[in-house]
Structure 1
Amino acid sequence: MHDIPYLLEVPRLRVQNANAISSPHTWGFPAMSAFVGLMQALERCLHAEGIELKLDSVGVICHRHEPQVSRSGHTHAFHLTRNPVGKKGDTAAIVEEGRTHLEITLVFAAGGAAADAHKQGSGPDIEEAIADILPTLRIAGGSIQSPLNRRGNTPRPQLVSVAETEEGQAKQNRWLLRRWLPGFALLSRDDLLHDHHAELQKTDPQTDLLDAWLDLSRFNWVARHEDLQGGDEGKVHWERRGPAQGWIVPIPVGYGALGQLHEAGAVEGARDESTPFRFVESLYSIGEWKSPHRLQSPSELLWYVDNQEEDGLYRLRNDYARIID
């Protein structure tokens, strides 16, 4: 974390009715783009108050996850609402919306003159300003409520100076990572997707990345016969096929362009007529939920924007796989 001067910790936020449909093919937890959007909105609100705090990346630790669904065996159905009748008294259609309640801790990589001034005891109170601004924002459409710790107290955001020495950082990392227990951090595992793709191509060279992603996104079971003496096949055992490591999940990581970039105002019905417009589709990868105490540094759970506009890619990245290698 030598290149991260400060960490901004926002502990135990409660989010009500956040969007649980993260993409056309995934559900359960908001996409990381929702948390990056919160980071950018928070930074702009601080700048509007004259606080020049720079937020570069964000990580999320989930402590509680309560999707609003009904369960029948392996089937989950969202709790939906029927809208009021139309102007003519007709029954309005049901629009499927997935909602979830969350308790999360957010960690931001921070910097800027405001952070330096705050640590020197001058300038505005950044932590107090953030505590006032956050309830006015939303996370994935969900309302942010006052955080609570185990004792029922309201914890405040905290701006932490990263230790300068390796020994100091190691001690600080252990202290921070254990503060975020119990919970799980969402990490990027692009490496597992590419490794599994290479493994599947050994038996079927026509396998593409989509096949590998779908294969990793489900539970695969195969039958194994127990060989008896004399070569006879005995009892059948069912074994799970695929990577045995980690709690891996399919996740959206951004958007890919479907066509050229249109000039601002050229596309009718666009939400913002002053910004260039482009049609896109979701990009997918593999993520892993991991307990913070199994990480070496808070930098491993941070996500940041890595757009490649010339290639039509607008995506997020997390360096956990690269750091552990």
Structure 2
Amino acid sequence: MTTSSVSPAQSSDFAELSRQVKHVGLLERRYGYYAVRITANLLLFAAGVLAFVLLGDSWWQLLTAAFFAVVLVQFAFVGHDAGHRQIFWSRRTNDVVGRAHGALTGISYRWWVGKHNRHHANPNHEDDDPDIDIPALAFSQDQARRKRGVFRWVAKHQAVLFFPLLLTEAVMLRIASVQAVLRREVASARSEAVLLGAHIVGYLTAVFLVLSPLKAVLFIAVHQGLMGVYLGCAFAPNHKGMPMPARGEKLDFLRKQVTTSRNVAGGRWVDFLLGGLNHQIEHHLFPTMPRPNLRRARAIVRDFCDRHGIEYVQCGLIRSYAWVLHHLHAVGAPLRQPAAGG
């Protein structure tokens, strides 16, 4: 077990950085931005519904399915921001927005917030971060060695299988949501059950009412598969392949969040594509900071880290995926080695 102590100077570093960020107003709410973003998403969703109705029982609906995959991930990004209280000062008002977006995407907002908060508290920690406790993947060689059965075979080839596995991500999130609600592991389980049930019934009714059975099944497959890939591609670059704190290792808040996170470089199109999650370091340091302020915070945080000798990792989008795949391939290496005496 590795242990280390946090010096008083290290503990005060984040307070100094926080003062700089607050001084320039980067923690202030951005009501206008979110009003425009939410309105635009609703208009896109309404346009998709209109196209779905007008096209009727047509193979062109597969394009509509792809369109809905993109739009609903944008809804998920807003739900993410609400869960972090980035939109309003009031937790209750954020929760209203978050639960509405969860109902539209078909994911339990209460379940996701609890899971995501645990991730933020201990990013990339093998014992405490639920985002690296995934049955089909291993993020350390110890995890890989513990896999059994089909999961062991998947971990062995996980770099090759990573993107195909993302096709199931949206469905797995929905299944986990339903399981958590049925087990009453979330607050307001009854209302969460009503919202999830309304989504499932409304979704399946609309699809099978408008489309023939074969087209309906393919519509669902395309929609859910592409939504899963998009979600996975937005979240995977953030921490996968970054250092994983050892058991018992003590890090101050600033270093724990910065050294386990990776930023993705790029213009505002990357901000839109990844929902601001490309500013992962800044987001982990200041989770309540409104999304549009993260880009402005980047220069402040990077300069601070440079002056204090804290490694700040940033790379391009394609490079980030290559980094993830290289890490997954290396983690699965022990499983690809021939057995001793074989």
For this structure pair, what is the TM-score category when the shorter chain's length is used for normalisation?
under 0.3
Q: Which is bigger in relative contact order (C-alpha 8 A, separation at least 6)? A: 2
Task: Flag the structure with higher helix content.
Answer: 2
TM-score, normalised by the number of residues in structure 2: 0.22
Greater Rg by CA: 1
